[in-house]
Amino acid sequence: MQQFEFSDISRMLTPIFARHDVDASRLLQVLLEVQDACHFIPSEAIDQIAAHFDVPRVNVEGVAGFYSFLSTRPVGEYRILFSDNITDQMLGKDELMLYLCNKLWVEPGKVSEDGLVSVASTSCTGLCDQGPAALVNGWPLTNLDRNRLDLIAELIRSRKPVADWPPMLFEVADNIRRSDVLLGQPFEPGAAMRATLARGAKETLAEVDKSNLRGRGGAGFKTASKWSFCHAAIVEEEGSMICDVGGHPERYIVCNADEGEPGTFKDRVLLNSYADLVFEGMTVGARVVGASKGFLYLRGEYRYLLKQLESVLQKRREAGLLGDAILGRADFSFDIEIHLGAGAYICGEESALIESLEGRRGRPRNRPPFPVTHGYKGRPTVVDNVETFACVAKIAERGGAWFAAMGTAQSTGTKLLSISGDCATPGIYEYPFGVTVRQILADCGAREPYAVQVSGPSGTLISWKEFDRRIAFEDLPTAGAFMVFQRKRDMFQTARNFVHFFAHESCGFCTPCRVGTELQKKIMDKIASGHGTASDLEEMKSLGHILKTMSHCGLGSSAANPVLDTLEKFPDVYVRKLKALAFEPAFDLDGALETARKMTGRDDDWAHL
């Protein structure tokens, strides 16, 4: 292991500390910088960070151990993480990863002997429309093929800094294929704010209410209700009226840009090309609930967007759309800070996100109390999805009735879908709610579609028999993912990929999910290796029931969906793989004795099973 002198470490830490307040909520951000500087978090740094923030060492270690982009052991100077979503796998990820490993003389999951490079897998990076994708030291590599990997291997061997690699490797396209009111109509920064200020805060909340906007992050909670709960919490506390005074320092607006659900990448596009719309929606929210501080929680995978987002914020400050006295109103100040995540799907869950914002492990809180009453630092906090805020800006500008006229009764407006998998034109499609799956499949040029995973692994799998169903909260609710599978795809492998994802991303706090997701994974692997029996299927059904009913948060309660859906809709894919026997051991009994046989040199009858 690399050795660091104490003085080296403090020399490295001093400028990092200088960039951050001495507030434990900065802990995760500091650790990210240390990881960058050293390619891991040295034990000595943990001591000094703990001392700096005056927190116990175990808190710092706990955080460093929780996030998958942080590591307490050295990773390669060049750390390559291949996106492991099923869509990347369908595009040949496994084979390409081995190809690169062979070129670089490194085993998957290990660091090369000279410490130069490590290659491993990571959960979906949100580039499914231009996969297979990977991250090199946090920077996205798209459209990988053997040619590109040859080039990358060469760049690494010649130790070229990632900043000097050819930009073409890092090109991320928006791939907007169908646009409607959100993506297709021009937006002038400040328009929604002016309308809000002219109309008044209470009246703007009434417009959001009239629009019937529901959260785009998955759960579909009515946005106006959430905001008025936040408002009610403040009124209860202070006995004051909403927004009569300007921004209050102790209520918060948080934009959830964690976008961890495999197959979802619409927030990436909104942040890349429509950031003004999103920030403006947050500012409208701030005016309505009376917040003076906002956070954008940006998933670590989208760190490449950080710089340009910062500059959008800066431009808005200069234009008087953020900061003190917004648009000249002395009673209205609001600013936005960007917090980076570090590779943890669970941090998309709103209370885990807040824990992470506060610099801790992303562990979901007990709810209630909900974040609207007890959120960031125990204060009323509104957490909404990126797309939700974009919709809010449009509603503030054009009115609730205009918005409510689109879509269906329970699902107004439009929805961004991130389409990937077996289709001719993967990318972003904006549709009014109510569109049929069949229509979408035709538009994206799906070839012989057989099944669609709607809203990612935690969503719903539908078979070709259900293609007349509609995207809407009344029928098929979705956070945006839409992965298309052809007939030739093995739906068992799809489910197995998702099951591995959940086992990897379970935060480990509650037993039903920590153990349940791991058991699911074991059974799916057992079936994949040809040792599955009918009793394993029964076992997975009862496990599914436990996960659904006993888990602490939404991750655990949806972790069985891929298995239960495939068992219901494609039972054949399991049955074909089962042994005819009623029971098979879960592992290779004789093989598990091999180490001991080598160790003892024994080969007698009792040394075999």
Partner 1 sequence: MSEQSDRGPLPIPLPPVGEGEVVSPAGDAKKIRIATCSLAGCFGCHMSLLDIDERLFGLIKLVEFDRTPLTDIKHCGPCDVGIVEGGVCNAENVHVLKEFRNTCKVLVAIGACAINGGVPAMRNNIDLWECFQEVYQYEGGLDGGQVPNDPELPLPFDKVHPIYEVVRVDYFLPGCPPSGDAIWKFLTDLLNGREPKLDYEMLHFD
Binds 508, which of ligand FMN, partner 1, ligand SF4, none (CB < 5 to 8 A, cut-off by type)?
ligand SF4
Interacting span for ligand FMN (CB under 6 A) from 179-187, 191-199, 491-499, 547-555: 547-555
Measured CA to CA, the distance from residue 501 to residue 380 in angstroms comes to 32
Among 551, 558, 561, 566, which residue sits at the site for ligand SF4 (rule: CB under 6 A)?
A: 551
Chosen residue from 131, 364, 371, 480 binding ligand SF4 by CB under 6 A: 364
- Pick 131 or 217: Cβ nearer ligand FMN: 217
> For 336-455, where are the alpha helices, taking DSSP H only?
350-357, 386-398, 400-404, 437-443
Q: What are phi and psi of 28, to 5 degrees?
A: -65, -40
Give the helix/strand (H/E) hosting 152: helix 146-157
The reply on whether position 399 binds ligand SF4 by CB under 6 A is no
Q: Pick the closer one to ligand SF4 by CB: 553 or 564.
A: 553
595 binds, among ligand FMN, ligand SF4, partner 1, none (CB under 5 to 8 A by kind): partner 1
Residue 456 contacts ligand FMN per CB under 6 A: no
Q: Which does 551 bind (CB under 5 to 8 A by kind): ligand SF4, ligand FMN, partner 1, none?
A: ligand SF4
Q: How far is the CB of 424 from ligand SF4 (least distance, A)?
A: 36
Which residue, 290, 292, 266, is CA-closest to 278?
266
How far lies 246's CA from each of 239, 290, 390, in Å?
15, 6, 23
Part in contact with ligand FMN (CB under 6 A); list of ranges 39-47, 216-224, 238-246, 591-599: 216-224
Q: How far is it, in rounded angstroms, from Cα 506 to Cα 107?
A: 26
CB-hemisphere CA count at 13 Å for 538? 5
Minimal distance in Å, beta carbon 8 to ligand FMN?
37
216 sits near ligand FMN (criterion: CB under 6 A): yes
The mark string for 365-384 relative to ligand FMN (x by CB under 6 A, - otherwise) is: ------------------xx
Smaller CB distance to ligand FMN: residue 515 or 528?
Answer: 515
Phi, psi of 293, deg, nearest 5: -140, 135
CA distance 383 to 371: 8
Would you list the DSSP string of 493-545? HHHHHHHHHHHHH--S-SHHHHHHHHHHHHHHHHHHTT---HHHHHHHHHHHH
DSSP state of 455: T
260 binds, among ligand FMN, ligand SF4, partner 1, none (CB under 5 to 8 A by kind): ligand FMN
Of the chain, the end-to-end C-alpha distance in Å amounts to 40
Residue type, 101: C
Q: Which of 121, 388, 453, 478 binds ligand FMN (CB under 6 A)?
A: 388
Based on CB atoms, which residue is closest to ligand FMN, 76 or 215?
215
266 binds, among partner 1, ligand SF4, ligand FMN, none (CB under 5 to 8 A by kind): none
Three-state DSSP state, 71: coil
Which 573-602 residues touch partner 1, going by CB under 8 A?
A: 581-587, 589, 592-602
CB of residue 539 to partner 1, shortest distance in Å: 9
